[in-house]
Amino acid sequence: MSEGIELTGEGASGYSFFILVGGSAVVTARGNTVAELEPGEFFGETAILEGGRRNATVTTTSPSRLLVMFGTEFRRLGMTQQSIAARIDEVMRERLAAAG
């Protein structure tokens, strides 16, 4: 995937979870940069786990590779890999607290 691709849009419905395998991306919320993502980082969990809308826009800042899981696959991962699910939940709660 090339640079400048919007992967998620703030306020949109969210049905996918993403893991950045290669490249980089920027996370913006309300017009402000809130994070820069590197390989190994993930996003999209909040809209799936909280049943809401995307709380940020994520845009690639370099050519990137991603793994994408839809909601059903993501929930299956949570049931079969509880330690991974716990870590994702922990990061989500940290992100929500930081966002206020």
pLDDT at res. 99:
77
The CATH homologous superfamily to which domain 6-99 belongs is Jelly Rolls (2.60.120.10)
Mean of pLDDT values over 38-61: 92
When pLDDT is cut at 50, 70 and 90, the band that residue 97 belongs to is: confident
Distance (Å, rounded) from C-alpha 12 to C-alpha 23? Answer: 24
Which amino acid type is present at position 81? Answer: Q
When pLDDT is cut at 50, 70 and 90, the band that residue 75 belongs to is: confident
Q: Give me the DSSP letters along 18-67.
A: EEEEES-EEEEETTEEEEEE-TT-EE-HHHHHTTSB-SSEEEESSS-EEE
Q: Average per-residue pLDDT in the chain? A: 91
Q: Is a pLDDT exceeding 90 seen at residue 72?
A: no
* Per-residue pLDDT tens over the stretch 15-43: 899 999 999 999 999 999 999 999 999 99
pLDDT at res. 43:
95
